[in-house]
Amino acid sequence: MARKHVLPDRLKPGLRLVFCGTAAGRQSALQQAYYAHAQNRFWRTLHEVGLTPRLLAPSEYALLWDLGIGLTDIAKFAYGMDHQLPADALGEKAAAALRARIARAAPQHLAFTSLNAGRRVMGAKAVAGEQPQPLGATRVWILPSPSPLAANHWDIAPWRALANAVRQDQGAGFR
């Protein structure tokens, strides 16, 4: 019997941008919504950098498809803080499975929502910002985590740079 994803992949061909975290947090798993912790900056940041026309609630995550934005995680079968996950949840098999899902969807941009997530797929020496190596034709970004646990490392500038790149690639597609 196939295991069920904690949160459904929101991937399909033709997306402009896909955000990828390490795994759903406890609140996200309980609420069945991406980035659901009340103190997580994800939804506020998307609106502040102009990727959404209004502030969306986590429960409205499905609306992102209408904006050309998808969502996924590396660990699809486990949830919690990174250090609480089973050892293999963020391992090479999980990273390879993510690469395969991204290759099938082929979004224009893939943005990891933490340095840890980005390094799991792009290599241990990856740094924040746009990555020099794409995944196929997909431009790859590593962003500072919007999690409240990473507040001391928060910087909105890479999120703005990503939003600007998405807008440039799409012309007037975003405001």
- Tokens standing for 38? 């009340």
What's the whole-model pTM score? 0.94
- The answer on pLDDT for 172 being more than 90 is no
At residue 1 the predicted structure's pLDDT band, cuts being 50, 70 and 90, is low
Please report the pLDDT score of residue 167 as a whole number. 95
Fold of the 17-170 domain: Uracil-DNA Glycosylase, subunit E (3.40.470)
Q: How confident is the model at residue 2 (pLDDT cuts 50, 70, 90)?
A: low
The mean of the pLDDT values for the chain is 94
The rounded distance, in Å, linking the Cα atoms of 86 and 106 is 28
Within a 13 Å sphere around the CA of 84, how many CA atoms are in the beta-carbon half? 9
Residue 4: per-residue pLDDT: 87
pLDDT at position 170: 77
Residue matched to tokens 């799409």: 170
pLDDT at 101 over 80: yes
175: pLDDT strictly greater than 50: no
Average pLDDT for residues 103-121, to the nearest whole number? 97
pLDDT over 60 (residue 174): no
Per the DSSP assignment, residues forming a β-bridge with 151 are: none
Buried b (16+ CB within 10 A) or exposed e, 87-124: eebbeeebbeebbebbeebbbbbbbbbbbbbbbbbbee
